[in-house]
Amino acid sequence: MDLELMLKVYPFFLEAAWVTVLLSVLTAILGLTCGTLGAAARLSRFAYLRFLGAAYVSVFRGTPALIQLFILYFGGPQIGIQLDAFEAGVIGLGINAGAYMTETIRGAIIAVDRGQREAARTLGLSSWQATYKVILPQAARLMVRPLGVNLNMLIKATALVAAIAVVELTYTAQRYIGSTYKPFEMFLLAGILYMIIIYVTGRGVAWLDRKVQIT
Amino acid sequence: MGLDFSIIPKYMDIILLGVAWTIGITVSAALLSFIGGIIFAVIALYAHWIIRQPFRLIEWVFMGTPLLLQLFLIYFGLVQIGIDLPAFIAGIIGLGLHFAVYNSELIQTAILAVDKGQMEAARTLGLSRGQALRKVVIPQAVRDVIPPIGNNMIALLKDSALVSVIGVSELTLSAQRVIGKTYRPFEFYILAAGFYYVINLCMEWVQHKIERRISISR
């Protein structure tokens, strides 16, 4: 194990880790937005919206995220979408994560007991009020933990943007493996940073989950 | 540059070869991850703690880091210690081990969910612990765990695209090669996505069939 080399390159990995964090945060925000819209579409009264939502989930969960990223980044210019690698990474991964989150959010909403809506309507709340004041607050509690799993997958999926040359952790590791021929050391550096990011996020989700539960 | 899908048929043979490779790699890695998952689960539940603890650490590392990074480690790491494997074997090992860890989690839960009485009855009938595990407990656990493992296998198909990065000529890299000649990324990546989607639908269909079979046999 070449500790000296690891100490020398470690600042570059730390810098790359921040790019991974930034990517994860932006992707999570976009993913949550897409997921909320997707879930709203899948639960809509209108059949064509339900179909659109289902198609979104099926197509984006049914094909590799890497290919989706390539279509956006390399194929985009052909249909007039010019993005730099970082933007393409955030948008591509965000839309992909949104498909998974759609199912999570939808699952939490339909897990709320039917009687809740019926009771709210009986008490004179409109359909809109019943959704926003009775159903969603309860669903929000149910979705924290599964969204945490989505977030964990999303952080690991940010490694894919290495393939379109965004200088984040995996790309940095790949480059240093190429130039130093020390795969194990570089994996260790990047791996530890990934695990720190994932551990901290996991603790954050667990904290939020405890916070929102009614005991 | 507009879109022109009419050039696809000319390069279809390269893409189809890629499809064959993707299916081959997915099936091999799936088998490895299934057998590996069972072995890992038994180690995690029944091995001596001297084996179990370092093993937990490895599992934790595999679940906490991206697959792409693991593929780089396995591919370049094996070369460093003098094992020069073809890229596709490194890819199969990487995918297989990664998903074996995830399968192991499912199988562990399933083994623990098999009624304790099954093990006790098997032991009473004179089977050794190993025999009881192999012939009584694990077969029942595996049956319970096939539907969720199916989801992992579909995830494996999609993640098999990552091995293109270490130079395995499966569907994604085949598409890239054709794009290198034609400069038509949109058309060929959409085509590749279409093939992945169809394979994915077939796997979902098979999974559905198996699930129904299992629910009847119960």
Nearest CB neighbour to B72, from listed A63, A70, A187: A187
Dist. CA B111–CA B125, nearest whole Å? 20
Which residue in chain B has the smallest CA separation from A173? B69
3-class SS at A26?
helix
Cβ-defined contacts of A41-46 (< 8 Å, 24+): A42/A102, A42/A106, A43/A106, A43/A109, A43/A110
Residue A157, min C-alpha distance to chain B (Å):
7
What does the longest C-alpha to C-alpha distance in chain B come to?
75
Nearest by CB to residue B3, choosing from A78, A159, A169, is A78
Where along chain A do its domains lie?
3-210
pLDDT tens digits, B128-164: 888 898 888 888 888 888 888 988 999 999 999 999 9
In chain B, residues with a C-beta closer than 8 Å to the C-beta of A2 are none
Low-confidence ranges of chain A (pLDDT < 50): none
Q: How many helices and strands, by DSSP H and E, does chain B display?
A: 9, 0
Residues of the domain holding B106: 5-217
Q: How far is the alpha carbon of A178 from chain B, nearest alpha carbon, in Å?
A: 9
Asked if A194 and A152 touch (Cβ cutoff 8 Å), the reply is: no
Phi, psi angle pair for A46, to nearest 5°: -90, 130
| pLDDT in the model for residue B76 | 87
The architecture (CATH level 2) of A3-210 comes to Orthogonal Bundle (1.10)
- List the single residue in A70, A79, A183 with the smallest CB-CB distance to B72: A183
Number of folded domains that form chain B: 1
Distance of CA B162 to the CA centre of its chain: 12
Here the CATH number for the domain that contains residue B32 is: 1.10.3720.10
pLDDT 10s digits, A162-178: 999 999 999 999 899 88
Q: What are phi and psi of A166, to 5 degrees?
A: -85, 130
Q: Do A63 and B66 touch (CB under 8 A)?
A: no
Q: Note the ipTM here.
A: 0.88
CB contact under 8 A, A74 and B66: no
| Tokens encoding A112 | 């709320």
Q: Give the single-character DSSP code of A134.
A: I
Q: Select from A74, A187, A194 the Cβ nearest to the Cβ of B64.
A: A194
Residue A138: which of A165, A171, A166, A115 has the closest Cα? A115
Contact A184 B77 (CB under 8 A): yes
Sign of the C-alpha dihedral computed for residues A176, B60, A213 and A97 taken in this order? positive
pLDDT tens, chain B, 218 aa long: 678 888 888 889 999 999 999 999 999 999 999 999 999 999 998 888 888 888 888 888 899 999 999 998 898 888 878 888 888 999 999 999 999 999 999 999 998 888 888 888 999 999 988 889 888 888 888 888 888 898 899 999 999 999 999 889 899 999 999 999 998 999 999 999 999 999 999 999 999 898 888 877 66
Greatest C-alpha distance within chain A: 71
Rounded to a whole number of angstroms, the distance from the CA of A211 to the nearest CA of chain B is 25
Q: What is the CA radius of gyration of chain B?
A: 21
The answer to whether the beta carbons of residues B109 and B140 sit under 8 Å apart is no
- Token pair of A198 as six digits: 């994932």
In sequence order, what are the residues at sequence separation of 6 or more whose Cβ sits closer than 8 angstroms to the Cβ of residue A123?
none
Residue B158 at interface with chain A, using a CB cutoff of 8 Å: yes
Tokens encoding B25 = 């790699």
Helices (H), chain A: 3-42, 47-62, 65-70, 85-111, 114-122, 127-129, 136-157, 169-180, 183-212
Number of other residues whose CB lies within 10 A of the CB of residue A210? 10
Compute the CA torsion angle B164, B167, B168, B169 (nearest 10 deg).
Answer: 80
Residue B113 in tokens: 């969910």
In angstroms, the CA A13 to CA A17 distance is 6
- Shortest Cα distance from B193 to chain A (angstroms)? 6
Q: Are the Cβ atoms of B193 and A160 closer than 8 angstroms? A: no
